[in-house]
């Protein structure tokens, strides 16, 4: 692939946007390859994905402005649809996705981080939706996901002003989960991924689905979704052995089993 690196260690996949000279800006090629690599990671049955950017400066500095400059109205809508389709694959990926945000996460870059399940950032990370300064709205889900993550008031302030915020402020408003020094970011992401993959994979996957689907509906329907996915865990080996080993007070065997599943 020209723009994406992919590696897999044990049950953890790492996808790196690899266009550092353009601060990993998202052109059609990056989007297409990201879509393909997500399919590959799904086939590999990874139990956690880490998504990051190459270089020291950027996670992704947004959709590619030079590619968008001369788009017609229809082409603009199609470009937004393409971004939304690929980001939807991230959102619904059948295992947790961690964004390791190692620098600028602007426009489409911030939107990409927001469709991940967990966001951790380095101290030099910068977040923002600067699109209105370019004469457009956020187009890869920013108007929807930012408002859901930080509330409509803060989302509107960030989008209407187009102002960037630093990692500490992003942490304060709940846009990200944690901040660490840049040199420790990937180790931190790896630690978090390992602490996820040592648990029962079907249970983790069903939890993600229950949270995501539940957030799209009212509480009563959400509880119905949880009941279905809770029920679907029963009769699995994970549930049978997981509970047997717990009752036998054999924690090591429990962990070992999930690791080797």
Residues at the contact surface with ligand CAA, assessed by CB under 6 A = 22-23, 25, 61-66, 83, 104, 106-108, 111, 130-131, 134, 138-140, 142
Closer CB to ligand CAA, 129 or 206, in the complex:
129
Catalytic residue among 7, 56, 111, 256: 111
Going from the C-alpha of 16 to that of each of 2, 7, 50, 64, 94, the distances in angstroms are 11, 9, 8, 17, 19
Closer CB to ligand CAA, 111 or 238, in the complex:
111
Q: Under 8 Å CB-to-CB from 179, ≥6 apart: which residues?
A: 120, 121, 122, 123, 125, 167, 168, 171
Shortest Å, Cβ 248 to ligand CAA: 52
Shortest Å, Cβ 252 to ligand CAA: 47
Shortest Å, Cβ 80 to ligand CAA: 7
The strand pairing partners of 179, in sequence order, are 121
Catalytic residue among 2, 77, 123, 131: 131
Angle at 158 between CA 167 and CA 141, to 5 degrees: 95
Closer CB to ligand CAA, 13 or 80, in the complex:
80
Closer CB to ligand CAA, 25 or 95, in the complex:
25
* 45 flagged as catalytic: no
Shortest Å, Cβ 154 to ligand CAA: 18
Residue 182: DSSP 8-state: G
* 111 flagged as catalytic: yes
Q: How many CB atoms lie within 10 A of CB 66?
A: 9
Evaluate whether 115 touches 88 at the Cβ level (below 8 Å): yes
- Residues classed as catalytic: 111, 131
């Amino acid at each position: 692939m020209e723009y994406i690196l992919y590696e897999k260690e044990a049950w953890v996949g790492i996808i790196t946007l690899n266009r550092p000279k353009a601060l990993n800006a998202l052109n059609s090629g990056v989007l297409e390859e990201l879509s393909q690599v997500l399919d590959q990671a799904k086939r590999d049955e990874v139990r956690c994905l880490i998504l990051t950017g190459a270089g020291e400066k950027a996670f992704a500095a947004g959709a590619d402005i030079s590619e968008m400059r001369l788009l017609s109205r229809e082409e603009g809508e199609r470009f937004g649809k393409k971004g939304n389709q690929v980001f939807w694959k991230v959102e619904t990926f059948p295992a947790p996705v961690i964004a390791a945000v190692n620098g600028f996460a602007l426009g489409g870059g911030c939107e990409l981080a927001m469709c991940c399940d967990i966001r951790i950032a380095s101290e030099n990370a910068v977040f923002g939706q600067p699109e209105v300064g370019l004469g457009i709205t956020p187009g890869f889900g920013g108007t929807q996901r930012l408002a859901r993550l930080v509330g409509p008031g803060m989302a509107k302030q960030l989008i209407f002003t187009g102002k960037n915020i630093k990692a500490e402020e992003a942490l304060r408003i709940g846009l990200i989960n944690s901040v660490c020094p840049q040199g420790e970011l990937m180790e931190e992401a790896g630690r978090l991924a390992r602490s996820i993959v040592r648990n029962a994979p079907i249970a983790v996957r069903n939890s993600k689905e229950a949270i995501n689907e539940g957030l799209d509906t009212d509480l009563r329907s959400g509880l119905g979704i949880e009941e279905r996915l809770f029920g679907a865990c029963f009769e699995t080996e994970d549930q049978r052995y997981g509970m047997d080993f717990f009752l036998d007070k054999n924690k090591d065997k429990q962990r070992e089993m999930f690791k080797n599943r």
